Structure 1
């Protein structure tokens, strides 16, 4: 059945967006070549698809926030999965209430167009929209995850699941994890089709987190082509391919389809514990030996780190126990930290682990600039930078075998030509507005990719 609601409402142009979390351009290209993505291979021939850059730091919460606002973190205020309260050592998980910018669907809704949004990261708690919204994986339960509130009852009847249980991925037996992934995918697709058929909408978006979940725990087996779950990994992606084929078959000729990912993926060689390096080098000192919280740092500390590779100078007048003077001393500390990080090597292989170190003013700007980390360490492929404390060694490899990459996301737009080869995820929001003939707000950082 084709979704004709837009035609009944006057034949307006409509857009559907599918977000596949953490699916690399290079992987899609390979799966098309190996006929795992038989439907996507045909679909991508009917439009334009290109490699896309993500954001720094390369975290889903930051990337999707940049997607939905068309802005850098200095404007939307989301810098990581875990952020720091300004002028404190307190950390928190940022929610939609912490986002300081209007979203794509809010801009669209103000023009009178109706929107439907499902599961996009940093949409909990659900903000009011002209239509409906189902919150993301951060939602504590379904009854608190929807706007309007009464939508939760229908989702419950449909068996909708907010997310898989990622802790199952850490078990040696991955079968329950895979069963959970497949169940959540099936329920999400069915709910998406139901809402698209029974609700009126001009813009509709569904995000799929399961792709990122399976990549973290099974990417290495897929890449090596061996292991007990390598085949199951590809079977899951075949279901993704079939889901998108089912969506395409339901769209009318006035609806443009876009498919994108927020970052790439690669096999994880090692986790790198930046705070261990800071402690070892005398940059970070604790009041006692129990290094469980940044709150416990000693006033002699000059720097500390949060995931992934965000470095904060312990600045006098900004941090409660600040020791580094603003001005020349601050710049000297940043320079020394950047030089030391650039020289970090794998203790076993001798391989360099840091690609580059970026100053915050080089990539961030806006009203939320003060919350930005002072430095961002960008890892080389395979080295996942962590902010964990009390780690006995600099590096380790545990249950996670895949990690995010900055340079290998992708964007596909059906029936359109993407006009630039170099672009990032912040450019997608103004592109969708262009497709809908909605004016682009003047404070958006991204630029439309279609004429």
Structure 2
């Protein structure tokens, strides 16, 4: 019986891995590359965790599976709500295989909470609110995880928490702990469980890049020799430890399984640029900020709440943060949430707006938005055309070149029943994190170079890039080939093929035949079958307490400004 092992190294990039391969620092990965197929793996727009791993696990674009980000617009107000796996609108790969009688082991893949019943075991990932949640299938597996790990289980390491508290040594140790725990648990589960597909993700490679890139990269604006002496090897050490753990795992798995090593996106240095989309929209006449005094109390309360949260992060233990959260009523957090994303906007005079933490533009549309003023149809399309032209003309103040790769109409990027939930325009930049909330900035430059002090105040020093990694080795895979053009949505169809299963017609991705052994393809041509898509997820929202926990984690990673 064919088997496939998928090893997810969140955020792993060839920029780090390739020089280490050439120096012999990653012997396991080098062996897989030399004996198999490898190349870049293109992420989604925008290249962030929730939508990237969901695309990989379903073989579908965001318009089909619905998960555009960690959150989606709540059109009953100018706000958002968090998403989880229950909102996913098409089946996961492990769900499909379970329905076909195949056995699976799934550990720590993002956007798998709440855990779905599978034929095998599932331990949910980053979207799990915390260790007190019911995050395993079967439920009693949760009690075994600490014993399997040999120490307390970890879902999301506290690297982000210790980084913002100025404790890089503890952040580093959290990354090492996450690697150790994750691989130990996976090894133990694969020993005791029957499996056809095993898929797990470690987040340490992503955290190392986010929080230690400024020590690792001499070209980073914040690089110092002192910092490099203390922490300059953390990024590489995380890769070395991941490689060593992978080697131990593969010794136990043996040569019968096809192995895929993948990442959801790449990484690179934080750019010292800021694009304040709402400020640009205001200067171009598309958005109006509220006049002084209007909504001032709400804005002041929202700013005070943000200051209080920052102080709490810096001074309290993580366990005590849960107690402090209860001091802020849920109704207050909901009411002030609009000011978190859309601070000080006069909706009656605004035609387009952005949440600014992403390159997203929303039209203030009549019939959809609470105070919409733009008519659907010709007015809407003319406004989108004008915005595309203006945004496409933005220049990078550091290079003088184009700042924006492309401004997409949403239907140009996505297809399916959920496209209508997505931003009207999606702005793709070279570095996705260049879009930043205005915050306390009161200047007039909508596109500007950050000062060293502003750059140092950011939560991360490394950010996402579009190209991740793909390495495949084992039965069915060609030897020693480099491939180009693979995308995240191609993974699920390819894995199904390697398992001898037909590919459902609803999947947007293709089987990566260029990495497959021609003799396999000749003996077993790719098969497509009708059906396979769900009617939609159950949409099980987080509780208020769980929402707070997830929001704080996302804020710590810089995803919520």
Whether these two folds match at TM > 0.5 is yes
Which aligned pairs between 1:19-418 and structure 2 lie closer than 5 A?
Answer: 19-86=8-75, 88-142=77-131, 143-157=133-147, 158=149, 159-165=152-158, 166-224=160-218, 227=228, 228-270=230-272, 271-287=274-290, 288=295, 290=299, 291-294=339-342, 297=345, 298-306=347-355, 307-346=357-396, 350=400, 352-381=402-431, 384-386=434-436, 391-392=441-442, 394=446, 395=448, 396=450, 397=455, 398-406=458-466, 408-415=467-474, 416-417=477-478
- Residues 72 and 426, structure 1, Cα contact 8 Å, conserved in 2: yes
Task: Tell me the secondary structure at the aligned position of residue 505 of structure 2.
Answer: coil
Q: Say which is worse superposed, 257-266 or 330-339, in terms of deviation.
A: 330-339
- Contact 1:104–1:429 (CA under 8 A) maintained in structure 2: yes
Residues 21, 388 of structure 1: CA spacing in aligned structure 2 closer, same or farther, 3 A cutoff?
farther
Shift of 1:263: 0.8
Could you give the per-residue CA deviations for residues 9-66 of structure 1, whole angstroms, max 9, x where no partner exists?
xxx1111100111112333222211222122112211110111211111111111010
Alignment equivalent of 1:16, drawn from 5, 24, 38:
5
Q: Give the deviation of 1:284 after TM superposition.
A: 2.7
CA RMSD, Structure 1 to Structure 2 (Å): 2.2
Contact residue 21 and residue 210 of structure 1 kept, 8 A: yes
Q: Specify the SS of the correspondent of 1:421.
A: coil
Query: By how many angstroms is 1:367 displaced?
Result: 1.2
Structure 2 CA distance for partners of 1:311 and 1:146, relative to 1, 3 Å: same
CA contact (8 A) 2:51 2:62 kept: yes
Which range moves more in the overlay, 87-96 or 346-355?
346-355
In 2, Cα distance between equivalents of 1:275 and 1:52: 32
Give the Å deviation of 1:176.
Answer: 0.8
How far residue 85 of structure 1 moved from its aligned partner, in angstroms, is: 2.4
Query: Which is further off, 36-45 or 13-22?
Result: 36-45
Greater Rg over alpha carbons, structure:
2
Q: Provide the rounded CA distance (Å) in 2 between the counterparts of 1:404 and 1:179.
A: 22
Moved beyond 6 Å, runs of 4+? none
Farther-moved stretch of structure 1 (26-35 vs 132-141): 26-35
Check conservation: 2:358, 2:432, Cα contact below 8 A.
no
Number of positions where the alignment pairs a residue of Structure 1 with one of Structure 2? 439
- The alignment partner of 2:162 has SS state of helix
What runs of 5+ residues in structure 1 fail to find an aligned partner?
A: 1-11
Contact 1:419/1:449 (8 A) holds in 2: no
Separation in 2 of the partners of 1:185 and 1:419?
A: 28
Q: Secondary structure at the match of 2:240?
A: helix
Paired residues of 2:358 and 2:433 also in contact (CA < 8 A): no
SS of match in other structure, 1:299:
helix
Is the Cα–Cα contact under 8 Å of residues 354 and 379 in structure 1 kept in the other structure?
yes
Q: Does 1:444 align with 2:507?
A: yes
CA drift at 1:237: 1.4
CA 1:24–1:419: 2 relative to 1, 3 Å: closer
Q: 2 CA distance for matches of 1:178 and 1:26?
A: 20
- Tell me the TM-score normalized by structure 1: 0.91
Shift of 1:147: 1.1
In structure 1, how many angstroms separate the alpha carbons of the residues matched to 2:20 and 2:442? 40
Residue deviations 1:158-178 (CA, integer Å, cap 9, x gap):
322101112222243311100
Contact 1:353–1:383 at 8 Å: present in 2 too? no
The answer on whether the counterparts of 1:23 and 1:211 sit within 8 Å (CA) in structure 2 is: yes
Q: In the TM superposition, what is the alpha-carbon distance from 1:99 to its structure 2 partner?
A: 0.7
Separation of aligned partners in 2, 1:285 and 1:47: 56
Q: Distance in 2 between matches of 1:229 and 1:146?
A: 35
Mapped contact 2:37–2:482 kept (Cα < 8 A)? no
Q: Give, in angstroms, the shift of residue 389 of structure 1.
A: 5.6
Comparing 410-419 and 321-330, the one that deviates more: 410-419
- SS in structure 2 of the partner of residue 119 of structure 1: strand
Q: How much has 1:229 moved relative to structure 2?
A: 1.1
Report SS of the residue matched to 2:416: coil
Change (3 A) 1:292 1:160: closer
CA–CA separation in structure 1 for the residues paired with 2:419 and 2:184:
41
Q: Is the 8 A contact 1:293 1:389 kept in 2?
A: no
Structure-1 separation of matches of 2:261 and 2:419 = 30
1:6 paired residue number: none
Maintained 8 Å contact 1:276/1:389: no
Cα distance, 1:87–1:338 mapped onto 2, change above 3 Å: farther
Greater helix share, structure number: 2
